[in-house]
Structure 1
Amino acid sequence: MWSLRWKTPLSQYLGRGLAALALTLLPGCTSMPVTSMVKLMRTDFTHIDPSVLRVAVKLPQTVKPRRGGVKLKLTLATDGAKQEREFVLDDLNDPAELLSLRAEVSRGTAIHAFRLEPADVARVIAMRDDMLAAKQRGSKGSIIIGVSADGCRAGPLPDKVPLTTYLRTEADGEFFALARDIDLRAAVSAEQLATKLPPC
């Protein structure tokens, strides 16, 4: 399983926007391009339409996300109370939406992209409304936005197993990298990697 998280104080989340205070991809392994940090700092999540939110991952062709295994998790903590919701992301099958990632595809790799199910968009908006209401009441807290995926191997793994993740927050915007070329072999032991990536 690979995962990424952003954790933002509620006051900042509702003010300047979504700040990249923490990004995690497998234990002990972090990497985010500076340009992406700036992009996230300037992103006001309260104005993002959840229906246009997109997540993508580049992996070797022999590593594939499991169907139904890619999830978005939202955790809202206010005044000691915690609200968590997890949403299974749907495959994004429209090639036109991936045009900005054409230059990212390299030999032996494939890009997989995902979106919220239409029925879940309203649920995400409801959570966002809860956050706004909490801010108006003067509550303090934080928001964690996470994406995780269960993967499997469809063949022998290469000497390096690079992982790159992307986010798109605007319908007419481009994907930008959240973490680039993280070698999963270097991040975990061979035994752990075999467990995290069982045969498909």
Structure 2
Amino acid sequence: MSPILCRLSALALALALFACSHVPVSTIWALRNFDAAAFDPAVLRAAVRLPETFEPQKGGVTLKIGWWRDGEESVKHELKLALKETTASEDVAPLAGEKKAGARIFAYRIDPADYAAIRARQKEFLEEKARNPGKTHGSFGVGADACRRGDFPEGPLLTTTYLRTQPSGPYLTVLKNLDMREAATKEKSLDELVPPCEKFADRAETPMLVNR
């Protein structure tokens, strides 16, 4: 599943999501000035709240940034990086108010080893945009692939995602209470969207903010 996908056109953020009705208007407003070509990779944080029987696949929470010219989206210049789980108090504490019974929250940051690659892609985009103003577009997205331990629980399977773009700012709710049962389609079943975790290597990271 891909809980959040942010697309930029001429550096103005718009949200192009699987289920736009799940994106709070307050978040769209708060992100109106977010500049993916200038954000500090050391500051960005993301988080996902999942049913307690779900967990992110190892390396499955990713950042994707890229750019393309008009008419050339099929040859987009793109960079995709796995985010690194964080349990630092300054990253975890702001999510305390998002705790819910029967759910777990996982927080993520960009691996410092990837800062240089991101800044290089930002520089590349700005240089291309200067050469072709109005004809160069960028994209920015954070996605998560989850798996499950055991059978699916009864009832809705609600997923919520968050993004923090300011060092002392709050986490913004990007995709709120998306029911994975509703996300399933004939093309991709629920079992395919959230496969058993046994299909993957055991997670190396430790989950936080567990609610039992």
Q: TM-score range by the shorter chain?
A: 0.7 to 0.9
Out of 104, 112, 133, the residue aligned to residue 106 of structure 2 is 112
1:198 aligns to what? 195
Q: Give the drift of 1:189.
A: 4.7
Residues 48-67 of structure 1 aligned to structure 2 (within 5 Å): 48-67=39-58
- Superposed CA deviations along residues 36-83 of structure 1, whole A, max 9, x for unmatched, are 000110223344211111111001110000111211111211253520
Out of 148, 153, 170, the residue aligned to residue 153 of structure 1 is 148
1:162 aligns to what? 158
Q: Give the drift of 1:184.
A: 0.7
Q: Distance in 1 between matches of 2:139 and 2:27?
A: 17
- The DSSP-based 3-state class of the residue aligned with 1:123 is helix
Out of 176, 186, 192, the residue aligned to residue 172 of structure 2 is 176
Q: Give the drift of 1:106.
A: 0.7
Q: Which amino acid aligns with 1:196?
A: L
Q: Give the drift of 1:149.
A: 2.1
**Percent of aligned pairs with the same amino acid:** 35
Q: Distance in 1 between matches of 2:166 and 2:129?
A: 24
Gaps of 5+ in 1: none
Preserved contact between residue 57 and residue 111 of structure 1 (Cα < 8 Å): yes
Out of 93, 102, 122, the residue aligned to residue 96 of structure 2 is 102
CA 1:189–1:133 in 2, change beyond 3 Å: closer, same or farther? closer
1:185 aligns to what? 181
- Superposed CA deviations along residues 118-164 of structure 1, whole A, max 9, x for unmatched, are 11111111111112212222342211112222211113323110010
2:86 aligns to what? 92
- The DSSP-based 3-state class of the residue aligned with 1:2 is coil
- The DSSP-based 3-state class of the residue aligned with 1:85 is strand
Structure 2 residue 122 is the aligned partner of structure 1 residue 128 = yes
1:9 aligns to what? 9
Q: Distance in 2 between matches of 1:3 and 1:68?
A: 15
With 49-58 and 137-146 compared, the bigger mean Cα shift is at 137-146
- TM-score after normalising by structure 2: 0.82
Q: Distance in 2 between matches of 1:43 and 1:145?
A: 11
Preserved contact between residue 36 and residue 140 of structure 2 (Cα < 8 Å): no
Q: Which amino acid aligns with 1:99?
A: A
Q: Distance in 1 between matches of 2:185 and 2:37?
A: 39
Q: Give the drift of 1:171.
A: 1.3
